[in-house]
Amino acid sequence: MMKFTEEHEWLRVEGDVVVVGITAHAAEQLGDVVFVELPEVGTTVSLDDEIVVIESVKAASDILAPLDGEVTEVNEVLVDDPSKVNEDPEGEAWFFKLSVEDISSMDDMMDEAAYKRFIA
């Protein structure tokens, strides 16, 4: 089950963590990604904290934390090869995993159908 935010992030629950990345739509809007700065593992974040910096040929963007939680893992591959964000944004190019206390806070987020309507 994937959920989506108005900030064009996707969230997928895997066991007791939430995997977070950006949508294909967001990756297309950014253009070719040339740099990704990820948070440190162990960082505690609150909703809407700046957590990832992405630079593309067009612009620099901040990714905001979609939930309160603790970063348990980051995708180091993106630091070495930021172009993965353009190649597989909703798969291999996830940014970080969060340990979240209240998973029900995702209930109000959009499902895939609602997100497709949102970007239409």
Closest CA to 65 of 3, 2, 7: 7
Mean per-residue pLDDT, 84-111: 95
pLDDT confidence band for 106 (50 / 70 / 90):
very high
55 within a domain of the structure (yes/no): yes
What pLDDT was estimated at residue 1? 82
Q: How far apart are CA 30 and CA 37, in angstroms?
A: 15
CATH code (residue 19) = 2.40.50.100
Instruction: Calculate the alpha carbon distances from 24 to 83, 89, 102, 112 in Å.
Output: 13, 5, 27, 12
**Is 120 part of a structural domain of the chain?**
no
Helix (H) or strand (E) holding 106: none
Which pLDDT tens digit goes with each residue over 26-46? 999 999 999 999 999 999 999
The total number of structural domains in the chain stands at 1
C-alpha 2/C-alpha 4 separation (Å) is 7
Question: Which whole number is the average pLDDT over 73-101?
Answer: 97
47 backbone dihedrals φ, ψ, rounded to 5°: -45, 130
